Amino acid sequence: MSLLFKPFSLGERQLANRIAMAPLTRSRNPDGVPNDLNALYYSQRADAGLIVTEGTVISPSAQGFLFNPGLYTPQQVEGWRKVTDAVHAKRGTIFTQLWHVGRVSHVSIQPGGIQPVSATGQTAKDTKAWGYTADGTPGAVDVSEPRALTTGEVYGVIADFAEAAANAMQAGFDGVELHGANGYLIEQFLNPAVNDRTDEFRGNTLESRTRFALAAIDAVAARIGAQRTAIRLSPYGGLGDMAAYPELEDTYLYLADELSRRNIAYVHLMDQSTRGSSATPSDFLEKFRRRFTGVLILAGGMTRARAEDLIADRLIDIAAFGEPFIANPDLVARLENDWPLATSIRSLHYGGGAEGYTDYPAYDGRAAA
């Protein structure tokens, strides 16, 4: 049997296979509270060795897209408990992704219409949030001008990550993944082309620009344990107006060293080349693998063949699949048996109800839709 389908130990957890369901924003929670529909959706996909939920905002001002769930109120904790109970009933493992979008937001979805906050006051160019348009209807909107967090507020956001992680444990999650990818807040600190601060979190030195990410990891690990703490990163990604910079490789390899020392659950890398960004250099994954000694997950344009090759070559431990899980709740079985994959309806990816969410069927022996 391929290693992809064999059990794998993630800390003290035994995963059924080496396939992860990557985070997928679905925007099915107008009140920000997970519900029975979310529980059904995730339980349908619980054959994945590891599920990482959609981005889950850590505070009201962390929001960048309408109708996403949070983890900062008792009602949200209770709602997520429905999800984790449903996944655990099928012997699945589930982490939640903790999310602060930073400057990738719009005043229409900020509490009281305040400015989004970030590492910087620079507005992200050619970047959209999903908020309320001029006529009051939901839709894509240009991100608003952000306000740079004060130093004290930076520590407040770090505390928000830790509190959301503690809430995740109350909700029954097996762990949390900090969203440090795709141009959101953590990456806004990491990137010196964006981070123009002058305090201890400034972008002009390796140690200072990584300080926020590592402080958030440390705060979360102190609350819930390092083996329940993980992070997602997107080296060479360009989403959210993240410009390339000369120290990019050094920055992420330094993070690899520091995260290894912390013995966290895993690092989840995303290759954004399938989303229009530059391809990750072929040798970068090898370099990162040598420097990070823990469990490594890779997402981005994943196929069975690619996953098997990367695992066989010991470049990664777990392969993450994103969009294929939307229309294929039984993706693991389809991959293992070489059954055809169904194609999702992209117009139904965000918002709405059960249609395009929980109504995709398992494979029945006929050609995929």
How many other CB atoms sit within 10 Å of the CB of residue 140?
Answer: 12
Q: In this structure, what are the phi and psi dihedrals at residue 206, rounded to the nearest 5 degrees?
A: -60, -45
Helices (H) and strands (E) in the chain, counts: 11, 14
80 and 72 in contact (C-beta within 8 Å)?
Answer: no
Q: Name the residue type at position 57.
A: V
Residue 117: closest CA among 145, 158, 151: 145
d(CA 70, CA 105): 15
Tokens of 214: 């590592």
Question: Known catalytic residues?
Answer: 184
Distance (Å, whole) CA 166 – CA 225: 10
Q: What is the token pair recorded at 131?
A: 């908020």
DSSP string, 278-298: PPPPTTHHHHHHHH--S-EEE
Distance CA 39, CA 339 (A): 26
